[in-house]
Structure 1
């Protein structure tokens, strides 16, 4: 049963994140089809993230009240309908509106995928389970980007969104055939919002969530600005940009596998520190390269791959620490952590869209700022963990 739930959760995560990245190589083609400038289509990523973030707390509450399966199916249905409708967009406004709706469904899919893992594992095993979601995340982020470029070249950009719709429908069929419990018990005497407020005021939950959010922001910022930088300033084609998904995928996969193999031996806090340190070092190299050697594309994308490796190490660990140290069980902690991450990502994506230019230094400066913020939160996490150990030893 646990293995089946893990597979379903990974499939759901793939769809949610594929909606984030698979269309990126087609941004110029979408802008051309909508008779719009490229920079008017660029906010589609931030809009999708806003859509993911807005209903996450509601999805979590619904998951507690009605059960995991019906809520997951409902979210997938919204995602599939929006994905199928996007190719019919007739202007930028309708395209962005449908992306928002697609994000609404993706938010529920993402939350319930993590909740399924949270229901099945705890401690180091929870970090391992979340690392599998991390591996799926990068397959969608990197290889999905490559597949999107191939689909666009062969069938047009519309095929990307039709493919996402078909994938969501297929997963709905699989979910309906899987006999796991459809309802969970919940204490209806306590409002969901008071539970969420309690979680936000709990530092051992909040600090690791922020670590994951700032690292996630580095990936969002790069995905927002990189298409124009690499396809504009460096003259890459959509296919060449799609190929970049392979080294990105490899980096994330290596980091997730390191967590899966070594977290129980090395300890979660130690691996969290290593991951964030690598993130900081890599973004520093990105900034220096963009300032002193701006004509070398490798000094932008290669250290970014190392930053992705660091984030792939720190992200599942930060989620596992936050949820294990949560004062509230069930779907609430995972839903709130997902909401915070997507809200941060939407804000960061919005800021990055304002920095869109063929010059790389504004992007790299933003990435370094985010990595530095993650380092500050890591120091607070270590202090929280030390305090918890002292309390437990009394």
Structure 2
């Protein structure tokens, strides 16, 4: 029962952090029109948010070990709520991007603590299942957030999107005050946190699993960076139409996450992660072919992307669980380091994608294929790592 409560709170926290990515996307043209800045500058808000999430993740993880999960999570939510409430008052694009950076700083702490709470409660295949619930929350946030953001935009204006995020953070803070988190294993606080992180990242089984998840995550970030201007520009979708796209995206991620919940214990984590990355590569390849040979059909952009989403929702929670279980150090360090790596990768990929923003879909599709191919190479390295560990253990 206590583990279920913890998982629910972790999912709510992850939802709030990730909805900051998607909820404003339908409003990108409206924000660009309202602020004295070009659309491509406003498009940087996604990459800036991801940089903010990445910057303090290792610090959040260390603070979580020193002061406990609840105080650190409450502090992160306070930063997130404050920045979200201030964003509507931004008077130019520079102020808007600065506040998005601060919002991301808080979201990074919320995201790390959500994963750490799951790590505290589960291990092995059960950890993969628990993280798959976080994965469902992640893309439901992308899809539902996108849809709700479009409704708020049409009804109240783009400012209401950020006020809604602030209110959500405050509500979660009130709930957390009434909940006791499960006991956790004590760690040696005399050990330097930064040396611990270096030790973990230099361990190949951790590194390859973490990279596989991060590259797949980059496909989602690249699409979210470029798709609003492609679909609302070249294909002349309205903000409401773009918002509706969130539903098939959410359904696709739900399918993949449910497959992990149902089959991961039976098939094994590495095999299921391989299947997931294969689907990501297949979906992005169809995106590329469609953007080259049938560029007038929007369905050949978003429908194969949904297939890639199914694959990513299968591979991502497994990559996190493998990275955590293979870490040479216990505690929140491995989860914080995985999140740090993923957010920096996402920020870099989002920055590259923002340079590719145009009304043509093939640059986005080519980037997605390259990321999926990289993830496939990392999965192959994970298999090699596991075989090497088996040989060592048999000696």
Cα distance in structure 2, aligned partners of 1:303 and 1:253: 16
- 1:113-136 deviations in Å (ceiling 9; x for gaps): 000000000000000000000111
- 1:246-288 deviations in Å (ceiling 9; x for gaps): 0000000000000011000011000000000111111111111
Query: How far apart are residue 391 of structure 1 and its match?
Result: 2.6
Matched residue, 1:225: 226
8 Å contact from structure 1 (residues 16, 106) kept in 2: yes
Cα distance in structure 1, aligned partners of 2:74 and 2:341: 23
Higher deviation after alignment, 177-186 or 365-374: 177-186
Please tell me whether residue 65 in structure 1 is matched to residue 66 in structure 2: yes
Please tell me whether residue 78 in structure 1 is matched to residue 76 in structure 2: no
Matched residue, 2:379: 378
Query: How far apart are residue 183 of structure 1 and its match?
Result: 8.3
Matched residue, 2:216: 215
Matched residue, 2:258: 257
8 Å contact from structure 1 (residues 67, 183) kept in 2: no
- 1:125-165 deviations in Å (ceiling 9; x for gaps): 00000000011111101111001001111111111111100
Matched residue, 2:198: 197
TM-score of the superposition, structure 2-length normalised?
0.98
Query: How far apart are residue 190 of structure 1 and its match?
Result: 1.2
Please tell me whether residue 366 in structure 1 is matched to residue 367 in structure 2: yes
Query: How far apart are residue 92 of structure 1 and its match?
Result: 0.1
Query: How far apart are residue 392 of structure 1 and its match?
Result: 2.9
Instruction: List alignment gaps of at least 5 residues for structure 1.
Output: none
8 Å contact from structure 1 (residues 279, 307) kept in 2: yes
Cα distance in structure 1, aligned partners of 2:180 and 2:313: 32
SS at match of 1:351: helix
Cα distance in structure 1, aligned partners of 2:111 and 2:387: 31
Q: CA RMSD in A?
A: 1.0
Query: How far apart are residue 185 of structure 1 and its match?
Result: 3.0
SS at match of 1:274: helix
Higher deviation after alignment, 96-105 or 186-195: 186-195
8 Å contact from structure 1 (residues 45, 349) kept in 2: yes
8 Å contact from structure 1 (residues 70, 182) kept in 2: no
Query: How far apart are residue 184 of structure 1 and its match?
Result: 6.6
Matched residue, 1:289: 290
Instruction: List alignment gaps of at least 5 residues for structure 2.
Output: none
Matched residue, 2:347: 346
TM-score of the superposition, structure 1-length normalised?
0.99
Query: How far apart are residue 67 of structure 1 and its match?
Result: 0.4
Cα distance in structure 2, aligned partners of 1:50 and 1:39: 17
Cα distance in structure 2, aligned partners of 1:377 and 1:210: 7
Query: How far apart are residue 36 of structure 1 and its match?
Result: 2.4
- 1:311-365 deviations in Å (ceiling 9; x for gaps): 0000000000110111000000000000000000000000000000000110000
Matched residue, 1:318: 319
Matched residue, 1:91: 92
8 Å contact from structure 1 (residues 69, 182) kept in 2: no
Count of equivalent residues: 394
8 Å contact from structure 2 (residues 291, 365) kept in 1: yes
Cα distance in structure 1, aligned partners of 2:183 and 2:79: 19
Cα distance in structure 1, aligned partners of 2:19 and 2:393: 42
Cα distance in structure 2, aligned partners of 1:4 and 1:112: 15
Cα distance in structure 2, aligned partners of 1:31 and 1:276: 35
Please tell me whether residue 40 in structure 1 is matched to residue 41 in structure 2: yes
Cα distance in structure 2, aligned partners of 1:267 and 1:182: 29
Please tell me whether residue 388 in structure 1 is matched to residue 389 in structure 2: yes
8 Å contact from structure 1 (residues 65, 183) kept in 2: no
8 Å contact from structure 1 (residues 67, 181) kept in 2: no
Query: How far apart are residue 97 of structure 1 and its match?
Result: 0.1
Cα distance in structure 2, aligned partners of 1:156 and 1:141: 19
Query: How far apart are residue 388 of structure 1 and its match?
Result: 1.8
Cα distance in structure 2, aligned partners of 1:184 and 1:53: 26
Cα distance in structure 2, aligned partners of 1:184 and 1:97: 38
Cα distance in structure 2, aligned partners of 1:188 and 1:121: 23
Query: How far apart are residue 393 of structure 1 and its match?
Result: 3.2
Query: How far apart are residue 182 of structure 1 and its match?
Result: 8.5
Cα distance in structure 2, aligned partners of 1:99 and 1:120: 32
Query: How far apart are residue 189 of structure 1 and its match?
Result: 2.2
Cα distance in structure 2, aligned partners of 1:206 and 1:183: 25
SS at match of 1:187: coil
